[in-house]
Amino acid sequence: MKTMICNATIVNEGEQYKGSVLIEDEKIAAIIRGAGEHIAADRIVDATGCYLLPGGIDDHVHFRDPGLTHKADMASESRAAVRGGITSVMDMPNCIPQTTTIETLEAKFADAATKCLVNHSFYLGATADNMEEIRRFNPREVCGLKVFMGSSTGNMLVDEEERLKAIFSESPTLIALHCEDQRIISANTLRYKEETGCDDPEVSYHPLIRSEEACYRSTAKAVELAQHTGARIHIMHISTARELELLQAGHIRDKQITAEVCLPHLYYTDADYARYGTRIKCNPAVKTEADRDALRQALRDGRIDVIGTDHAPHLTSEKVGGCLKAASGIPTIQYVLPAMLELCDEGIVTLPEIVEKMAHNPAILYKVTGRGFIREGYQADLVLVKPDAPHIVDSESIVSKCGWSPFEEHTFRWDITHTWVNGHAVYADGVFDEKVMGQRLRFNSEHESCGLVTM
């Protein structure tokens, strides 16, 4: 099967140019710069006026399978991913049962093979007592190890220093980190309960309880441990300007310590709690305008390496309450690329930088085999976006189980017209084709082939 995508503006590896791409079966068979002659194909897609990008690789999702499927599942959330321009995802281990053994990890892969429309991998979660499992897993088969240095479900909080040193010293792969100091959070919780005289203060207290200090102290500890042990760490959902002081600019290939920012922290501030309430409650908390603006700047100067979503659906009923009782998490993946393109229109980030942070850099950081770039011989994971075409998500057909997303209220001027996963048009002009599932991601030990043109 051959598909020819003609007359697009291709955005890839720091360049934008007019051209066409030939897909043959699962792979990119040819890239033709300029008008050129069109190669005979079974299907022609006229992409005049559209931009062709490598599919996004989201390193941070909660698809809720297994055990929490009353909220969402891999089928519904992979549809949302496709609609948001994401073709590969890495899913978190805090489900039921937790993904803390090789057996539970492989069970998730087997489940995904039957219902996940996008390419996928799953983190192994660290606990206080699963070091043998950490030593067992194959870094070519699994995206990474997830360590919650802040509160999580079950026994997945790991904040004791000797235990962390052991994990940092012995992990065979990248360590992805949730950094919040639980002792500071607990002390702040008691303080604001006493000050307000309430067991569940209103949501505006959320960034005061899960404070800048809680984030900074935990991130500083992680950086210090990484420097001491030589571990490769990736600090997820950075939310404060102060944490950025611990990070360095530069190309991702040269870094031992990297960082991710997630969509809610790039869009919202603590002033937005008055409008959206618990709809923007997430961990770490959305903080000040100065924090948001510093995160946006860090995208440009290279201190932030990856854009993720922390996509985390809950039922609307689970978002009821204040800063302690309402569930933390926001469904975002179905909006992520149009939302980032909106920031591009505002001059906050460039289109090549979006592609770098959402596709190229995750591929390099996680050593993903054959994805993340528009290159001949690579898997045809591609997204076609059109300006001046409003991005409207039919939540009933995509994420019907989860509560309303604050991003629903935004009007984005970019729409995704097509998403190809391994050469298969999973989404085209408003129609999902769910006959073919995504593939298990594979990882190189050295990843020699994923060099990038420095922008």
Q: What is the pLDDT of residues 403-416, one digit of tens each?
A: 679 999 898 999 99
> Do 124 and 99 meet the contact criterion of CB atoms below 8 Å apart?
yes
**Residue 403 confidence (pLDDT):** 67
Looking at the 3D structure of the chain, how many domains does it have? 2
CATH code of 416's domain:
2.30.40.10
| pLDDT above 60: residue 376 | yes
How far apart, in whole angstroms, are the C-alpha atoms of residue 374 and residue 55?
9
* 404 in a structural domain: no
Domain that holds residue 44: 2-53+373-397+412-432
**Each residue of 320-340: pLDDT tens digit?**
999 999 999 999 999 999 999
Query: 38 and 59 share a domain?
Result: no
Note whether residue 437 is domain-resident.
no
Instruction: Give the DSSP H or E segment for 362.
Output: helix 361-366
Please tell me whether residues 260 and 278 are part of one structural domain.
yes
Report how far residue 185's alpha carbon sits from residue 187's, in angstroms, rounded to the nearest whole number.
5
- Give the C-alpha separation, 207 to 214, whole Å: 10
Amino acid making up residue 249: A
Decide if pLDDT at 152 tops 60.
no
In a domain, 405, yes or no: no
Residue 387 one-letter amino acid? P
- Segments in 200-272 forming alpha helices (H): 206-209, 212-229, 241-244, 263-267
Q: Which of 147-156, 172-181, 219-228 has the lowest mean pLDDT?
A: 147-156
Cα torsion for 144, 93, 103, 86, to the nearest 10°? -70
Mean pLDDT over 266-288 rounds to 97
pLDDT band (50, 70, 90) for residue 153: low
At 359, list the tokens. 């596709």
Same domain, 134 and 217: yes
The one-letter amino acid at 177: L
Mean pLDDT of all residues in 63-78: 95
Strands (E), 65-154: 86-91, 119-122, 124-125, 145-148
**Assigned token pair, 160:** 């004791």
Q: For residue 204, give every residue at least 6 positions away whose Cβ sits within 8 Å of its Cβ, in sequence order, or none.
A: 270, 273, 274, 323
Structure tokens at 131: 């070091």
Per the domain annotation, does 402 fall within a domain? no
- Residue 448's pLDDT is 39
Q: Are residues 421 and 275 in the same domain?
A: no
In tens, the pLDDT along 85-134 reads 999 999 999 999 999 999 999 999 999 999 999 999 999 999 989 999 99
CB 337 within 8 A of CB 414: yes
Residues 132 and 241 grouped into a single domain: yes
Decide if 47 is inside a domain: yes
Which residue in the block uniquely carries the two structure tokens 């991710």? Answer: 260
Q: Does residue 281 sit in the same domain as residue 332?
A: yes
User: What pLDDT is stored for residue 395 in this prediction?
Assistant: 67
> Up-side HSE of residue 77: CA atoms within 13 Å toward CB?
34
Residue 445 lies in a domain: no
3-state secondary structure of 127: coil
Residue 148 lies in a domain: yes
**One domain, residues 393 and 307:** no
* 3-state secondary structure at position 69: coil
How many CB atoms are closer than 10 A to CB 344?
A: 16
* CATH number of the domain to which 139 belongs: 3.20.20.140
CA distance to 119, 257, 442, per residue, from 254 (Å)? 27, 9, 22
Which position has the token pair 């002033």?
Answer: 271
- Are both 174 and 271 inside the same structural domain? yes
pLDDT for 151 equals: 64
CA distance 83 to 336: 9
Give the pair of three-digit tokens for residue 15. Answer: 């360049």
Residues 49 and 63 in one domain: no
- What pLDDT shows up at residue 399? 56
- Average pLDDT of the residues of the chain: 93
This prediction's pTM: 0.95
Indicate whether 333 and 213 sit together in one domain. Answer: yes
237 with 319, same domain: the answer is yes
In the predicted model, is pLDDT for residue 193 greater than 60? yes
Q: Name every residue whose Cβ is closer than 8 Å to that of residue 142 and which is 6 or more positions away in sequence.
A: 105, 121, 122, 123, 124, 173, 443
454 occurs within a structural domain? no
CB 60 within 8 A of CB 313: no
Alpha carbons 426 and 137: distance in angstroms, whole number: 31
User: Are 103 and 204 in the same domain?
Assistant: yes
